Structure 1
Amino acid sequence: MSANDLAGTLLLGTHIAAVWFCTGLVWIIQLLVYPGFAVMERTGWVALHQRHTRLMGLIIGGPWLVQGLTCAVLLVWRPPGVPLVAALAAGVCGAATVAVTLAISVPCHERLAQGYDPDVLARLTRTNWWRTAAWSLGGVVALVMLVLA
């Protein structure tokens, strides 16, 4: 195996691990955490929500950063066999998760940090499907890139 092949395998392996970590986590949030918020006792909501957002940031921050960095590398250098269109698709999926998070999810969480609001939680849960879809599609794209390499 050449150094170029090894670098490509490491890059794609790291990218896949980061994307699928984020994908698994967003599915847990979508199917377990946010629906759980809707039925939980409201006593202590602010403290629980604060803990959730703090810990979620710690859990997702590293893998999400790795996903972004590996996407950036794939846009300028790809292993042999991986077309630019695949790297662009990975980048679009990653950018979609960032855009939805900053434009919708963060403002919803900021409102929920002030107190429970069923309408805000419903919006957060509904729009989180966009992140779930983007990360899931990004995971599929990552696997396709590995097969093509």
Structure 2
Amino acid sequence: MLSLALIANIFCSFALFGLIWCVQLVHYPFFLRADKINFIDHIDFHKLRISIVVVPLMTIELATSGILAFTSAQFAGWNMFGFAVVTLIWLVTFFVQVPLHNQLSDGYDESTVQKLIKTNWIRTALWSAKSFSSLVLLFFLV
């Protein structure tokens, strides 16, 4: 049977999987093409609007990953894997991506945008792995 925590976790993982691919392939590369004069406004707009979507999803994903990892005996290995991946996503987000966004809030810098794009592949790969592990769980549970 699918628990509410598992359903919420899978939903958030897939939503973030889709979002991170869009950010990786569209948003961040667009920063290289954005109007340099108004670049700070573009970045501030992006940070505010993306946070409205990302923060609740990431928070629910982290909480439900922890619940599943530490309270569910069924598929404990998959749940611990999911929690570890989500933890890594949070670490990369707050120790790599957020500082790069903050640097860009001071103005356009092509090398910083390139770092943002390159390092975001880590989160893209991690959310892809997390979503794949969710598919495996769904396969065994349904």
TM range, smaller chain:
over 0.9
- Is 1:91 the counterpart of 2:64? The answer is no
Structure-2 residue corresponding to 1:145: 137
RMSD of aligned alpha carbons: 1.3
Structure 1 or 2, whichever has the larger Rg, is: 1
Q: How does 1:111-122 map onto structure 2 within 5 Å? A: 111-122=103-114
Structure-2 residue corresponding to 1:74: 68
Structure-2 residue corresponding to 1:103: 95
Letter in 2 for 1:70: T
Instruction: Kindly provide the CA deviation profile for residues 79-129 of structure 1, in whole angstroms up to 9, marking residues without a partner as x.
Output: 7xx321101110111011101111110110110000000001100100000
Residues 34 and 42 in structure 2, CA contact (< 8 A), matched pair in contact too: no
Shift of 1:13: 1.7
Secondary structure of the 2:129 match is helix
Q: How does 1:1-149 map onto structure 2 within 5 Å? A: 5=1, 8-78=2-72, 82-149=74-141
Q: Distance in 2 between matches of 1:89 and 1:101?
A: 18
Aligned residues: 141
Letter in 2 for 1:60: V
Question: Under a length normalisation based on structure 2, what TM-score does the superposition of the two structures give?
Answer: 0.94
Percent of aligned pairs with the same residue? 25
